[in-house]
Amino acid sequence: MLLRVRYRIYKLSTKLMKFYIERKPTSESRSLSFEFASIGFLIQSGFFELPLKKLGEIMKYMDYAATTPPHPEVARTIAEVMSLHYGNPSSLHILGEHSEQLLKKAREVCAGVLQVKPSEIIITSGASESNNAAIKGAALQFMNRGKHLITTAIEHPSVYECCKQLESLGWNVTYLPVNHEGTVTPEQVCAAVQDDTVLVSVMHVNNETGSINPVQEIGKQLKVQHPRVLFHVDGVQGFGKLPLSLQASGIDMYSLSAHKFRGPKGIGLLYVREGIKLQPLLAGGSQEGGRRAGTENIPYIVGMAKALRLAKEEQAQVAERLRHLRKVLIDGIAAIPKLVLNSPPDGAPHIIHFSCPGMKAEAMLHMLEEDGFLVSTRSACSSKKSEPSRILLAMGKSVEEASSGIRVSLGEEHTEQDIQQFLAALQCAVTRQEDLKGRG
């Protein structure tokens, strides 16, 4: 009960803060400067102390698939680089040279973690850009070879919508159906290849359900049966959780986003195997070997490199802990009769997805939030859409199930006690929803 009271105080103070920030002067006597002075007074008085400083103490963040809290070491590194090494790496003076050396070192660290060459790493603004750069870059570069692309029905919007856009421009796209666990098989992929197929794009781990595609086997079979077809993998939810060798898997392109492994937002990378040339999406500069124009964000690139290295070093230990917590959570959800599990038993260790048929997912989310648990209804990139989940419908779920999904995604900070407390809150939320339905 105390937690709910503190939560409601937090929500009220947040609304007030938004109100003060968004207000506009109503008369000449009430200037904008006065508005900012009011906000300053409230901040200095500690009015916003709960939402700004204490939220983490009263809430359990269980939405790691949407974004992860930055690693403290990464945050310190970014702050230091931002303060001291602000030169443009393209500049010829000493500050530019320092930034260029940091960029070179960060690229080498990223390449070392992925066991590829530094020249095969393209720095991007995140996985959405990486996915678009890989798919559109290959489609445009090799359109004289063919205009057929292959992907799956459960891809992230940055792949799915990219393919839809190319369809509208004249490309032919095959969207492979998935089984009830949300995966495709290597045989499916190879059977869909045509004489004019240029690219196959398959995600490693689905961001809603945690289903794992056999990308290693897909890549190997493609290279044997169709060696000219490029293979792209969206590795965002798999990196740091599952082992994957890019070289041994026949993967030609691989997308990552730093904020999914405790790095900063707005930075990512695209691995492109040596010898593959892509049509650049951005023109106007010679950065990234002419493959991606734009001044490099050195602090975030260095932060990404550190986060990448830490995630790789801690991968085995973290994955083992998460697998145990996932089993406890799945067993607990299965014991609540009204809920339907959507994640496969052998899915990624950090993502658990279930549906609440007959209940409102958003209401369930806010009930859990009142009890101190932050989860999501689906992929963060689609969470504000009201239609049923495209992913769950592709898996054969009913419209009711696809409209009432809840995703829990875990991180290294969570404990078994957190899971037990969450399950108790979940049971309470289900009971409350059932009571509300009964009264209606």
Do 288 and 375 share a domain, yes or no? no
Look up the domain containing 380 and give its range. 60-67+314-439
Antiparallel, parallel or unpaired: β 121-124 and 268-272: antiparallel
Do 343 and 433 share a domain, yes or no? yes
Within its chain, how far is the Cα of 210 from the centroid? 12
Q: How far apart are CA 361 and CA 366, in angstroms?
A: 9
Find the angle CA(115)-CA(121)-CA(126) to the nearest 5 degrees: 115
Would you say residue 254 lies in a domain?
yes
The answer to whether 187 and 209 are in contact (CB under 8 A) is: no
DSSP letters for 143-167: TTT--EEEEETT--HHHHHHHHHHH
Would you say residue 34 lies in a domain?
no
Ordered per-residue pLDDT tens for the chain, 440 residues: 545 555 555 565 555 556 555 655 554 444 444 444 554 554 555 555 555 445 566 789 999 999 999 999 999 999 999 999 999 999 999 999 999 999 999 999 999 999 999 999 999 999 999 999 999 999 999 999 999 999 999 999 999 999 999 999 999 999 999 999 999 999 999 999 999 999 999 999 999 999 999 999 999 999 999 999 999 999 999 999 999 999 999 999 999 999 999 999 999 999 999 999 999 999 898 899 999 999 999 999 999 999 999 999 999 999 999 999 999 999 999 999 999 999 999 999 999 999 999 999 999 999 999 999 999 996 545 545 578 999 999 999 999 999 999 999 999 999 999 999 999 999 999 999 887 776 65
Model pLDDT, residue 394: 97
Of the three residues 310, 331, 353, the one that is the final residue of a domain is: 310
Model pLDDT, residue 36: 47
Q: How far apart are CA 397 and CA 389, in angstroms?
A: 9
Q: How far apart are CA 55 and CA 49, in angstroms?
A: 9
CATH number at residue 360: 3.90.1150.10
Model pLDDT, residue 21: 55
Model pLDDT, residue 100: 96
**Exposed (0-12), middle (13-18) or buried (19+): which is 82, by Cβ within 10 Å?**
middle
Model pLDDT, residue 27: 47
Total structural domains within the chain = 2
Of the three residues 279, 310, 341, the one that is the final residue of a domain is: 310
Would you say residue 338 lies in a domain?
yes
Of the three residues 310, 328, 358, the one that is the final residue of a domain is: 310
Would you say residue 431 lies in a domain?
yes
Look up residue 428 and give its amino acid.
C
Would you say residue 51 lies in a domain?
no
Do 296 and 407 share a domain, yes or no? no
DSSP letters for 12-65: HHHHHHHHHHH---SBTTB-HHHHHHHHHHHHHTTTTHIIIIIHHHH-EE-BTT
- Read off the pTM: 0.88
Would you say residue 48 lies in a domain?
no
Do 161 and 306 share a domain, yes or no? yes
Do 258 and 245 share a domain, yes or no? yes
Do 214 and 78 share a domain, yes or no? yes
Model pLDDT, residue 285: 87
Do 199 and 256 share a domain, yes or no? yes
The answer to whether 195 and 208 are in contact (CB under 8 A) is: no
Within its chain, how far is the Cα of 32 from the centroid? 38
Q: Which three-class secondary structure string do you get for 372-389?
A: CEECECCCCCCCCCCCCC
Model pLDDT, residue 312: 97
Do 347 and 206 share a domain, yes or no? no
CB atoms within 10 A of CB 11: 14
Closest CA to 236 of 134, 317, 117: 134
Do 384 and 402 share a domain, yes or no? yes
Do 342 and 230 share a domain, yes or no? no
CA distances from 374 to 11, 15, 338, 410 (A): 14, 18, 21, 11
Would you say residue 31 lies in a domain?
no
Model pLDDT, residue 433: 87
Active-site amino acid positions: 381
Would you say residue 349 lies in a domain?
yes
Do 302 and 432 share a domain, yes or no? no
CB atoms within 10 A of CB 358: 12
Do 91 and 208 share a domain, yes or no? yes
CATH number at residue 100: 3.40.640.10
Q: How far apart are CA 63 and CA 154, in angstroms?
A: 20
